[in-house]
Structure 1
Amino acid sequence: MARAVPAVERAFDVLELFLDVPELSAPEITAKLGLPRTTVHELVGTLAERGYLTTSGGNRFRLGVRSFQLGAVYAERLDLAREGQAVAEEIAERCQETVHVGVREGAGVLYVAKVDSSHPVRMVSAVGRLLPAHCTAIGKVLLAALPRAEFDEVYPEPELPAMTAGSITSRAALLDELAAIAGGGVAREHCESNDAVACVAAPVRDHSGAVVAAMSISAPILRWNDEVEQALRELVAEGAQRLSERLGSAPAA
């Protein structure tokens, strides 16, 4: 890796302070970074001149329009399907099971990325396929993030259609499960969309922290047990967090 340039590093240190607070004065920046006062004045002066910082009155600074423009260009060039496919490939390589990334479409889940299991026995699914959200782990994660008013619009009726004998068929039961998912972060599906498949899923967030997608790992029940499920729950949470970070979400604490 090329040698880091100290002046550039200090400039980024200044800018990154504004990820946590909207405004700072030059003395506050000096105190937070432990840099000489003259150095800070030179840094904020240069950044302000280039439009990366702007003054907000009273000798206080905030991020300028140039910072916004760079962030907007980055956001525009992000592609959930492309980024999801890349992370799904990494996760599938580690677990050798099928990995999906999906988004909600009304009361359904649309798969936007998929990597097949390397095992000869695998689930049959396809990118672009729409499944009932309440029957899938991905769908449950996405539904758990909905405000109650929006959930009621999606599911106005008390009864829900089933895909298998294991599917949730009542709105009340679905709400109970979604409450548990909202608290724990990972959803589980066992033979609810396919009689022979179990699945776990975790939320994917964008730069604002909103849940915009979910990642799942699925496996035939002949390879499923409590130990496998726990390992896959941890792995899918890791994969979803990695994809979230690629979409601009803050790194996990």
Structure 2
Amino acid sequence: MQIKNKTVVRSMDILNLFLTYPKLSFNEIVQISGIPKTSVYRMVMSLEEMGFLEKDKDGRYVLGLLFLQFGQLVAERLDIRQVALPVMQKLHEEVGEAVNLIVQKGREAIYIEKLDTKQPVRLYTGVGRRSPLYAGACSRVILSFLPEEEREQYLEEIELHPIASGTITNKEKLRLLLEESQRTGYAVSHSELADHTSAIAAPIFDYKGQIIGGISIAGLSVNYQPEALPSLAEKVKKAALEISRKYGYVQ
């Protein structure tokens, strides 16, 4: 039998209010929670004393900085592969294509997890493979959402070498693709890392809204014709958002 401490549960009920409301007065907490005023007073005082709640300059309650410390620790201790794998498996079942997880390593992207395509064909990706940030949907979606200063420095300094027949080697075209990804929330590539293959990727963010990785589906280009892209892109974006939310990201 599960036994819950009533005071702890009610305290959590109060804290959960701040998932919806950024600021609340004492009376608003009482009114919205439906908890008796005397009980709210005791719990709010305790939560404030422990650092879970703070008062702003207007005397309204907000979540305390202690949550930021906890949130940072949780984010630092999460293994992105463990977090992403269940979502990747679900996406893999939906689309039947290879699903890749990628993170930035310096000026390259590195594939750290992969689920193979159900099609009898070998793709260019594999765990441990590296690619430049400008080439391939998953790499480029990371580049798209880097801080502007870091992205521009990269673009100014990098030389764009062809890897396959579709590799982007023109910086102005690359910039336009990066801007498009920022608008749409995903990137598409065709024959950029290997001929006759395509990929769709979406960014993964942490609780600060910073890019921490990307997830992509990849397969033969014949499966990525224009009419199929919108539906596939939405599936990849949904998966990326699900992973991001596990890191505390709020869209």
TM-score (norm 1): 0.85
Partner of 1:89: 89
Contact 1:158–1:172 at 8 Å: present in 2 too? no
Query: What's the counterpart of residue 243 of structure 1?
Result: 243
What is aligned with 1:190?
A: 190
Note closer, same or farther for the CA distance 1:157–1:52 as it changes in structure 2 (3 Å cut). Answer: closer
C-alpha separation in 2, matches of 1:73 and 1:14: 23
Q: Which moved more, 1:78-87 or 1:205-214?
A: 78-87
Contact residue 107 and residue 155 of structure 1 kept, 8 A: no
Give the alignment of 1:145-160 within 5 angstroms. Answer: 145-157=145-157, 160=160
**Greater mean alpha carbon deviation, residues 215-224 or residues 29-38:** 29-38
Superposed counterparts of 1:212-227, under 5 Å:
212-227=212-227
How many positions carry a matched residue from both structures?
A: 251
The 10-residue stretch of structure 1 (103-112 or 180-189) with the greater mean CA deviation from structure 2: 103-112
How has the CA–CA distance of structure 1 residues 76 and 179 changed in structure 2, closer, same or farther, with 3 Å as cutoff? Answer: closer
2:28 pairs with 1:28: yes
Equivalent in the alignment of 1:211: 211
- Corresponding residue number in structure 1 for 2:123: 123
Question: For residues 58 and 182 of structure 1, what CA distance do their matches in structure 2 show?
Answer: 37
Structure 1 residue 36 displacement after superposition: 3.5
Contact residue 80 and residue 247 of structure 1 kept, 8 A: no
Which residue matches 1:142? 142
Give the whole-Å Cα distance in 2 for the aligned partners of 1:129 and 1:93.
23
Instruction: Give, in whole Å, the separation in 2 of the partners of 1:199 and 1:9.
Output: 46
For residue 82 of structure 2, what is the amino acid of its counterpart?
A: R
Q: Distance in 1 between matches of 2:217 and 2:61?
A: 45
C-alpha root-mean-square deviation of aligned residues, in Å? Answer: 2.8
Runs (5+) with no aligned partner, structure 2: none
1:159·1:170 contact (CA, 8 Å) conserved in 2? Answer: no
Identify the residue that residue 107 of structure 1 maps to in structure 2.
Answer: 107
Deviation at 1:196, TM superposition (A): 1.7
Range 169-178 or range 150-159, more displaced: 150-159
Deviation for aligned residue 1:62: 4.1
Alignment pair present for 1:166 and 2:166: yes
* Matches of 1:213 and 1:230, distance apart in 2: 21
Kindly provide the CA deviation profile for residues 56-78 of structure 1, in whole angstroms up to 9, marking residues without a partner as x.
68865444465455434422321
- 1:132 alignment partner in structure 2: 132
- Distance (whole Å) between structure 2 residues aligned to residue 188 and residue 206 of structure 1: 22
Question: Could you tell me which amino acid in structure 1 is paired with residue 207 of structure 2?
Answer: H
> Is the CA contact 1:160–1:168 (under 8 Å) kept in the aligned structure 2?
yes
Does residue 38 of structure 1 match 2:41?
no
- Which sections of structure 1, spanning at least 5 residues, go unmatched? none
Q: Distance in 1 between matches of 2:224 and 2:58?
A: 62
Task: Report what 2:52 is aligned to.
Answer: 52
Q: Distance in 2 between matches of 1:73 and 1:149?
A: 27
Tell me, yes or no, if the aligned pair for 1:88 and 1:113 is still in contact at 8 Å.
no
> Deviation string for 1:76-120 (max 9, x for gaps)?
321112222332222112211111111223332111221111221
| Alpha carbons 2:124, 2:194 under 8 Å: kept | no
Shift of 1:206: 0.5
